[in-house]
Amino acid sequence: MINKKYLNISEVSKILQIEEHKIRYWDSIDPKTNKYRIEGISTKSKGGTRYFNKDNIKKLQKLKNILYDGKNHNHSIKLADKILNSNNKFSNKITESDFNYEHSDNYKKISQILDKMRLLLKNDNEN
């Protein structure tokens, strides 16, 4: 990493391999709630220029790990924000595989229920 106290958005984008527009979006205010989408991603100058310290960069890296697995998009930004800002012991043990919905027991149970409901509806419509 570069030995500067603060980095600009293009430097952070290159280091973390996150497009600048995604960082800006994550660091912007949601018009529905008038709150930052993800709190604490950058430090802004009076002119609005974003600067990033080591803590900001760590938070961005965690956010990237939560939201993306390779090129696949995994979660909503609201869920990622809750995971990042959770202060309980459980949050320290969260891994990306914990959020692979296709392999979770709940996902399988819900899929089975939906399949049964579709079958019942199909049989009901045929009679």
Distant-in-sequence, close-in-space partners of 88: CB < 8 Å, separation ≥ 6:
none
Helices (H), the chain: 9-16, 20-26, 54-67, 77-85, 89-92, 105-126
Given this structure, which CATH class describes domain 7-94?
mainly alpha
Domain ranges of the chain: 7-94, 101-127
Place of tokens 């309980």: 88
Note the pTM of the prediction, 2 decimals. Answer: 0.57
Give pLDDT tens digits for 10-28.
Answer: 999 999 999 999 999 999 9
Give pLDDT tens digits for 43-65.
Answer: 988 998 999 999 999 989 988 88
pLDDT band at 99 (very low <50, low <70, confident <90, very high): very low
